[in-house]
Amino acid sequence: MTKISWKPGTLIAPLPAVMVSCGTMEKPNVMTAAWTGIINSEPPITYVSIRPSRYSHELVSKSGEFVINLTTLALAEAADYCGVKSGSKEDKLETAGLKVLPCGKISAPQIEQSPVSLECKVIEVKKYGSHDMFIAEILAINVDDKYIDESGKLDLERAGMLVYSHGEYFTMGRKLGSFGFSVNKKKTSREKPSEKPSGREDRKRGFSDRPKRDSSDKPRRDSNGEERSFKPRRDFSDKPRRDGAKGEGRGFKPREGSADKGERRFSDKPRKEFGERKSFSDRPRRDSNGEERSFKPRGAPSGRDNETRKFDRPAPVEKRTHKKFRNK
């Protein structure tokens, strides 16, 4: 494998494609950003990098607050639109069909359609060449309850999260594992299995506390819901067999020696007597003209009698070769 060296650039992909909402509930604004991430865990600290020429840079600098809204496949078109247009010239939220909700810790609004919204308070601003980094502490997280499963876990895989990769949008792929799956020990045969599985495994393996349902006494019903009465299957053993053409009963005679087995022969005529099997060993053999052929029996293999092994066969044809190879 050969690697090619390129000049330095911002080629870290994929990155989360988020919508950063700022301003107030009376005059909200939103922009799309990919330069964002986590800086610290305790306390939770994040950042967002914004060009000084952007309208959102002015709003975040004045209020010191913003909200990071995660995007999904359903928000892909709105996210791209809000990253291209400027909020100083139009209301991007109304044009993109986005709705805002108030936050609990800050005055900046959050986007209603976003599955996760992080309320952030700016604690430091670092100025670099093309962007200013707004470092902020995460004060609260608002989660859409439809992405929370029965155990209370956030399942964002169902949301179809949106990511940004070098100028293109993608959705996340399938789940490969959880943190630490590469070092977790697999279950061995020595481990004692659980006495009874739960949930879906119950149905797979057939475990159930409920007694088996007896459907023998359940009445059967037709398509109209009325109960159907069934008759036992008819016994045709005593029914006389009839001729299909005349409709007359067909007689039968029991086979000799098979009365105990109940076998029958459906015929009134006596069985045809056959003579001895005809032997074809004395039948004369004839050629294609109908004349009888005479032949001598083949001699014993061990006798090597040339007289008894001669037949009326044509003489063998001499093998011919091409004149080119005849004298070689």
What would the pLDDT profile of 96-122 be if each residue is shown by its tens digit?
Answer: 999 999 999 999 999 999 999 999 999
Strand partners, 33: 18
Considering its fold, how many domains does the chain have in total?
A: 1
pLDDT of residue 152: 87
CATH number at residue 39: 2.30.110.10
Q: In the chain, which residue ranges form alpha helices assigned H by DSSP?
A: 55-63, 76-84, 92-96, 200-205, 323-326
List pLDDT tens digits, range 240-261: 666 655 556 665 555 555 545 5
* Residue 73 pLDDT class (50, 70, 90 cuts): very high
Q: Look at residue 80 and tell me if it is in a domain.
A: yes
Q: Look at residue 280 and tell me if it is in a domain.
A: no
Residue 65 has pLDDT above 90, yes or no: yes
3 to 6, 8, 166: CA distances (angstroms)? 10, 15, 19
121 near 106, Cβ under 8 Å? yes
Q: Look at residue 294 and tell me if it is in a domain.
A: no
Give the chain's mean pLDDT: 78
List pLDDT tens digits, range 117-151: 999 999 999 999 999 999 999 999 999 999 998 88
Q: Look at residue 65 and tell me if it is in a domain.
A: yes
Percent of the chain with pLDDT over 90: 44
Task: Using a cut of 0.85, tell me whether the model's pTM lies above it.
Answer: no
Residue 71 has pLDDT above 60, yes or no: yes
Structure tokens given for 90: 């139009």
Select, from the ranges 156-165, 178-187, 283-292, the one with the highest average predicted confidence (pLDDT). Answer: 156-165
pLDDT of residue 174: 81
Q: Look at residue 102 and tell me if it is in a domain.
A: yes
d(CA 163, CA 14): 6
Closest CA to 266 of 248, 245, 249, 252: 252
Domain that holds residue 43: 15-171
Q: Look at residue 155 and tell me if it is in a domain.
A: yes
d(CA 34, CA 19): 9
Q: Look at residue 25 and tell me if it is in a domain.
A: yes
Q: Look at residue 77 and tell me if it is in a domain.
A: yes
